[in-house]
Structure formats: structure tokens, C-alpha cells
A = this chain, B = another copy of it.
Amino acid sequence: MFVPERLLMGPGPSNSPPRVLSAGGRQLIGHIHKEMIEIMDEIKVGIQYAFQTQNPLTLAVSGTGHCAMEAALLNVVEEGDKVLIGVNGYWGERATDIAKRLGAEVYQLVKEPGEHFTLEEIEKALLQHAPVLFFITHGESSTGVMQPLDGLGNLCHRYNCLLLIDAVASLGGAPILMDQQGIDILYSGSQKVLSAPPGACPISFSERARKKIYARKTKPVSFYLDMEELTKYWGCDGHPRKYHHTAPINTFFCLREALAILAETGLENSWKLHKENSLYLCSGLQKLGFKLFVKDLNARLPTVNTVFVPEGYNWKEITEYTMKNHGIEVSGGLGPSAGKVLRIGLMGYNSTKFNVDRVLHALEDALQHCLKNKL
């Protein structure tokens, strides 16, 4: 099996630190052995810290980011429920697709890629559609936008609406305070700032969201992702554990270590580090002549940085050049940003000044080389 060495500076996955990788290579134990239960308890506490929440219904879903998105939606949404979805990039469209499959009545609140939503815009849509759930992406990795969250929870609750936040690309890289910000459902991924392999996703539900789940008229369409069942498996109700499914044991080992590293670093340090390195990168990119895609400085995602593809260049030539000649992954756009932007990730283990210098050097080289080819 050939696995090359790569510096992963795209929108994820990130490289994993040795401590996390070595956890993934440990010999297995049973999924309901008491030592595994302890590891799952530690994961739960680690997620509660990372999310800044006291919610008992906090656990890791046994799948990757899309799986967590489905878990969030299918537990809360019943057929015919009105759902409002903020769409300013790829992830809102994806959530729309999933909510429609569940039979929800979906309304989209749309903004241009690169923009974010104001409280006024959201309030207008809540008033107009009276949804039971509002979905919005905190870190829009397809565009590099970070949605401000303050005030959003209170606003939604005033309209009897639950607030669901996708923080796959942002958790640990920028402040999210689940309880304080009144977020009802929050999920993230393992392969971004946490820098663990993909395959397990942190998720948490507020008491308000839990009540909606437990008051369902119908069972959720998935047994694998049914939160009432997972509550028993993860011991979120304080009762002895009940077998539900075989968890991805080694992936949980990795997630446990990744959450421990985040806790040892401290959330505030992690946020500060991601911000500093992002500013350092953006300043370097501008010196190379790149134009930043997100205009509002306060709405720039520090984990996934987006710049316009410079005029006259083909994005694919640039990303292929850095991959081939520097072993560095830099990404093109996704969905509405495809063909327009380059995306440079700075997440967790990979968010260092040293890596910023490496990626800037590779991009400088790519710009020179790809231009030379053209002349």
C-alpha cells in the first residue's frame, strides 16, 4: 500500500500529530469493555469542553461529517416540519437536500457565497416561515466565511425555533460557546482542527432539542443514528449502558487523544493561535498579490482561508503544482466557489507559522512556474 507524505493545507483532513496516530494503531479492545466505556466517557467530557456545554446528550456519532449532519437533522425533524436553512455556500445546499429527503418543508435563506447573514435578515425569515428549526453553518469551508453567532440563539428561541449549527470546519479554531450562545444542536468533525482521522463526529443537543426528540410522533428514519438509542449506548441518561452498535473503536481512540490535546492546549489559546496564523497567512498571500475572497474582516474563517484565483491562472494548475513539487495540498473551490477560489487550510496540528511559510513559498513558486508556462 502506497501512502505518500503530504502536508495537508486544504479544507481538511489535516495531518494528525503522532500521539493521535499512535492511538489509532493500538490493538483493539471490545466495544463494551469497561476500558472502552471509560474512553467514551472521556470523549464525552472532551466534547463538552470543546463545545462549552453541560448538555448530558453529548456524544460522538460513528461516521464522518455528513453523517453528523444527517444525525442532527433526522433526530429533530419530522415529516412536514418547517425548516429554515441559511445558504451561503455548499453546506446549506447539502443540509437542504438532507432535510428534503426527510420530508421537511424547507425554506432557504440565501446570500451570495462570501457573505454572511445578519440578525435582521434571519429574524425576517423566522417571522415569515415560522420554522421549527434553523440551520446555519458557522465555518463555511466552501467560501471561507465565519458566521457571527452572538444573539442568534435568543432570536431563534423568541420564535420557538431550534438553532442548529454546523461547526465542522470551525470548532477549536474560533469561539463557539454552545450554552452561552443558546445553540440547540451543534456538531463538528474530527479531521479539521481536532486533527484526528475522519470517522467520528462530536455532537450535542440542548434540553430544548432533547425534548423535541423525545416528543416525536414517529421514530427517526435511522436506527444507527437514533439519539434515544445512542443516549442509552453512551450512558447520557445515567443508566447502565445498552449495546447499540459496534463503535469505530480505533477512531474513538484517536478522537479521545485529539480532544485531550485540545483541552491541554486550552480553547482560548487555540482560538488565538488560529487567528494569528490566519492573519499571518493572509498578509503573506496579499504580498504575493492574492486578493482575499471574504471582504468583511470579522467574517473571515481562520481555519479555511480563501483567495480569488489570480487572473490569467487556472486553479487546477496551481494546486497540482504545489502537490507535485512541494507535497503540499492546497484546494480549489467547492460548489458555488468552484473555479473561483483557492482554499488554504490552517487547522489544529497544521496551524503553525512554519507551515504558513511553507505554503506561501509553494504558492509563490507555483505562481512563477504556472506563469512561465503561459509565456
What does DSSP make chain A's interface, helix, strand, loop or mixed?
loop
**A226 (CB) vs chain B CBs: closest residue:** B101
Residue A198 lies at the interface, judged by CB distance under 8 Å to chain B? yes
**A28 (CB) vs chain B CBs: closest residue:** B13
- Contact A199 B94, CB 8 Å, known A16-B28, A249-B13, A250-B251: no
For A334, the chain B residues whose CB sits under 8 A away are 243
Total copies of this chain within the assembly: 2
Residue A122 lies at the interface, judged by CB distance under 8 Å to chain B? no
Contact with A251, one of B42, B243, B251 (Cβ below 8 angstroms): B251
**Does B199 contact A4, Cβ atoms closer than 8 Å?**
no
Residue A26 lies at the interface, judged by CB distance under 8 Å to chain B? yes
A30, B1: Cα distance in complex, Å: 15
* Contact string against B for A residues 295-337, beta-carbon threshold 8 Å, 1 for contact and 0 otherwise: 0000000000000000000000000000000000100001000
**Does B39 contact A23, Cβ atoms closer than 8 Å?**
no
Residue A154 lies at the interface, judged by CB distance under 8 Å to chain B? no
**A257 (CB) vs chain B CBs: closest residue:** B1
**Does B5 contact A27, Cβ atoms closer than 8 Å?**
yes
- Contact A27 B13, CB 8 Å, known A101-B219, A223-B101, A251-B250: no
**Interface-located stretch among A49-57, A62-70, A105-113, A128-136:** A62-70
- Contact A256 B1, CB 8 Å, known A28-B16, A199-B250: yes
Would you mind naming 28 contact pairs between A and B with Cβ atoms under 8 Å apart?
A: A1-B42, A1-B257, A2-B35, A3-B27, A3-B29, A4-B29, A5-B27, A6-B30, A8-B29, A13-B246, A22-B25, A25-B25, A28-B191, A62-B63, A62-B199, A64-B245, A66-B246, A67-B224, A70-B222, A101-B219, A101-B220, A101-B223, A102-B221, A198-B246, A198-B249, A199-B248, A221-B222, A250-B251
Residue A172 lies at the interface, judged by CB distance under 8 Å to chain B? no
A339 → chain B closest CB, angstroms: 14
Residue A146 lies at the interface, judged by CB distance under 8 Å to chain B? no
Contact with A38, one of B2, B15, B65 (Cβ below 8 angstroms): B2
- Contact A1 B23, CB 8 Å, known A66-B224, A199-B250, A248-B197: yes
**Does A329 contact B33, Cβ atoms closer than 8 Å?**
yes
For A22, the chain B residues whose CB sits under 8 A away are 25
- Give the 7 A-B residue pairs with the shortest CB-CB distance, closest first: A25-B25, A199-B248, A197-B250, A66-B245, A221-B221, A198-B246, A66-B224
Residue A121 lies at the interface, judged by CB distance under 8 Å to chain B? no
